[in-house]
Structure 1
């Protein structure tokens, strides 16, 4: 027993030493992209350039110990140079106006409005995790675990997700990578947003229809959709078939972060009735790749069950079912889940998946393309099983007990808090 205790103590000590070794490589919590072959960014006139070579971030460079403890992730992809178009707000889409600064806990963003009324957003590819770092992590000096965890996100995953979405007719926000130089139009936002790369994409709420669908009266977020449901009652429904397709697609690409704030709805008028068509936004966590000792511990289903790694197989489907699913899909027949799984298996052939990699530069494909497409294909082949399990888990968890995220301030009747089509 004494030898066992000593052995366990030695393991703990070695683990702690390796942990702090891995954390010692940098004390930085945020770092911008790096321009390639440009020595003085402040003196250059970007008006003379239509594109630049840029690396998303070298913050995630790591030695062997760090890779062992915190994982390989997409470190090489983050540091790889890519060619990115340069944009100026006074000429973008004929000229855009900054509406407001936005962003979630990690993402810096600017909402833009074009002259035709279409809303766009610039979402930072570099993430700022400082708001997510708890005080105990700072006290223990382990905040780099959270900072470095961003390297598990693929900086260009949203592009591949969008390309595949087109193949299955799921609406997306049409993201493009752009470089935004410092410029007069940014005004007070220059310091925070100038000389950075962003995803430029449509907003998931708009009074102007930017989709290919006809008779769209507006594009709304989930909270406003609930408000419309109050007004129109049974005359407003969602396209459950397309939502199930979109959610099963999330399973294929390993996007585990799909709460209600990450969806928009294109509301289509059909005579005196309305149909809300889902729009998937915010693909930061598509293809989320966790390995290494620390991330593997954190992503264990008994530690952080909703943090699901992108592997060949889904080993804990329960962690992928959100209150969003229970709210919008509770009363859906199993046949819809089966039909959509079979449809995705038929449409997303090996060739379609492989050809979608064309949205990435060759060097990014070489670094991560083969591994990602192999996992998508493996998950596709098991999708019917996942679809049935998805339906069963929604039914098992049942109606919501509280407001859907983002709608806490709405004065909803009890039945509309429980699910979108629950009866009064």
Structure 2
């Protein structure tokens, strides 16, 4: 969460802060000390499971007035007592696990693990602490209490349902398993691992395994390296149909937190022509089935301050906000697909997600959590599945309004074909070279096309076809670095060429701030 967004959220939270939080400073003992309410009773060293463990019972300690104002969220699920296996790292649950480096994002704490045969895993705490995402000037205030309490808007076990759903539509996925970490486990006694003691954790592969039909990758890389590979030369490109499936799955499950840091990429081995493909590997499914706007404050926050915090419900709410965290990736990774491809993908996914499969997936929730949320979640997923083509069409229109096409650090030839009813843009490395990119744009869908040559000595050619070539959509061409050439007749309308690059921070090859 950025500082600017927190500055917007602060006065909204402040309006109800004294009533809801009951203190002007951060609560020192916010989290439950142990997932086992009876933690005072010793747990046998040989115990393979525990009963009655809770993911975070502190979220359910409030009364009816608080829940009406802030929101009930998933509080009962966080406090529901569940049966959980105990994590024993040396045992053969996965062939033995050896602890590695401690890490994690702004909320979770994670521990890298390796098996005896070298496979990489990670265990992450189910409960989160967003204090690391807050600026120093806010860390002593009641807003930290509010942000911590907002974790109750997430379903602690939602990620357990994802493998069945993702597998059905051919999207790579991790296979998380829920465990309890003993408070006295000798493998977790160092100070850096204190956040794991007595807590529930999710153990999963560090990189999502590929579907069986996919070729073995040459490497698995993060988004920064993936973008750099695409921007360096045209030999590496995103697998756009695969990314579309993954993004529609995100929207269907209500997973709004899909910024570039939430992806890894499988880089395929180069073909005989030297080309390689980046297959998306989604990770960190913490925001699936998110529920925020069931209270006055939650409703205000989602409408006025943080519009991308979108509640999962039977109908799709605020599509722009729902998909906005992935906009940088979507603009670059889905810019060649047309409306028919979006719709065809959604229709195929509908057929791959029957009611029986949805029910099987949601039953992966622990039984007490399913009793609380299962039936309504199944019904919502079914309704959203029936509206998947509408989601795909609205998503397409959002991206088609002002698409961006980028070159690389090498020289490319961009050809803009103007027809009476459309504009077709192609990209090649030379006149007679294979086409790397091709898409037709319609004036009814697209207002403006932005083309960025980036590096190299690029050529931008305009070819007009027919007696009355169209003037729309408008086209802005930015040459960027290099000695670029614009080949266009003086009569060409609606096309503007700028030799310079796009302003700093806005260029096609400038990653967003995380």
Tell me whether the two structures share a fold, i.e. TM-score over 0.5. yes
Separation in 2 of the partners of 1:265 and 1:16? 41
**How far did residue 193 of structure 1 move?**
2.2
1:380 aligns with 2:379: no
Q: Which residue in the other structure is 1:334 paired with?
A: 339
Separation in 1 of the partners of 2:118 and 2:33? 31
**How far did residue 134 of structure 1 move?**
5.1
Separation in 2 of the partners of 1:69 and 1:345? 37
**How far did residue 385 of structure 1 move?**
1.5
Separation in 2 of the partners of 1:178 and 1:260? 28
- Give unmatched runs, 5+ long, in structure 2: 1-12, 407-453, 456-479, 481-500
User: Which of these residues, 46, 49, 52, is aligned with residue 51 of structure 1?
Assistant: 49
C-alpha change, 1:225 and 1:384, in structure 2 (3 Å) is: same
Q: Which residue in the other structure is 1:407 paired with?
A: none
**How far did residue 30 of structure 1 move?**
3.2
Q: Which residue in the other structure is 2:490 paired with?
A: none
Query: For 1:214, what is the secondary structure of its paired residue?
Result: coil
Separation in 1 of the partners of 2:313 and 2:187? 43
User: Which of these residues, 346, 349, 352, is aligned with residue 347 of structure 1?
Assistant: 352
Contact 2:227 2:509 in 1 (8 A): no
Q: Which residue in the other structure is 1:224 paired with?
A: 225
Separation in 2 of the partners of 1:138 and 1:180? 28
Task: Return the TM-score normalized by structure 1.
Answer: 0.83
**How far did residue 292 of structure 1 move?**
0.4
Q: Which residue in the other structure is 1:101 paired with?
A: 102
- Kindly tell me the number of residue pairs found equivalent between the two proteins: 388
Separation in 1 of the partners of 2:405 and 2:376? 37
Contact 1:69 1:293 in 2 (8 A): yes
**How far did residue 395 of structure 1 move?**
2.8
Q: Which residue in the other structure is 1:315 paired with?
A: 317
Q: Which residue in the other structure is 1:172 paired with?
A: 173
Contact 2:231 2:509 in 1 (8 A): no
Contact 2:31 2:56 in 1 (8 A): no
Separation in 2 of the partners of 1:186 and 1:138? 27
Q: Which residue in the other structure is 1:406 paired with?
A: none
1:127 aligns with 2:128: yes
Contact 1:29 1:128 in 2 (8 A): no
Contact 1:204 1:221 in 2 (8 A): no
C-alpha change, 1:216 and 1:36, in structure 2 (3 Å) is: same
Q: Which residue in the other structure is 1:398 paired with?
A: 403
1:294 aligns with 2:297: yes
1:247 aligns with 2:247: yes
Summarize deviations over 1:211-245 as a string: whole Å, max 9, x none: 633322222211222344356x3332222112111
Task: Return the TM-score normalized by structure 2.
Answer: 0.69
C-alpha change, 1:388 and 1:190, in structure 2 (3 Å) is: closer
Of 321-330 and 22-31, deviating more is 22-31
Higher CA-based Rg: 2
Separation in 1 of the partners of 2:116 and 2:219? 17
Q: Which residue in the other structure is 1:7 paired with?
A: none
**How far did residue 195 of structure 1 move?**
2.5
Q: Which residue in the other structure is 1:262 paired with?
A: 262
Contact 2:179 2:201 in 1 (8 A): yes
Contact 2:131 2:139 in 1 (8 A): no
Q: Which residue in the other structure is 1:12 paired with?
A: none
Q: Which residue in the other structure is 2:77 paired with?
A: 77
- Please state which structure has a larger fraction of its residues in helix: 1
User: Which of these residues, 367, 372, 376, is aligned with residue 372 of structure 2?
Assistant: 367
Query: For 1:251, what is the secondary structure of its paired residue?
Result: helix
**How far did residue 119 of structure 1 move?**
1.4
**How far did residue 136 of structure 1 move?**
6.7
Query: For 1:379, what is the secondary structure of its paired residue?
Result: helix
- 1:111-260 matched pairs, under 5 angstroms: 111-133=112-134, 141-181=142-182, 182-188=184-190, 189-204=192-207, 212=212, 213-229=214-230, 233-260=233-260
**How far did residue 197 of structure 1 move?**
1.3
C-alpha change, 1:100 and 1:400, in structure 2 (3 Å) is: farther
Contact 2:176 2:205 in 1 (8 A): yes
* Structure with bigger RCO (C-alpha 8 Å, 6+ apart): 1
**RMSD across aligned positions (CA):** 2.9
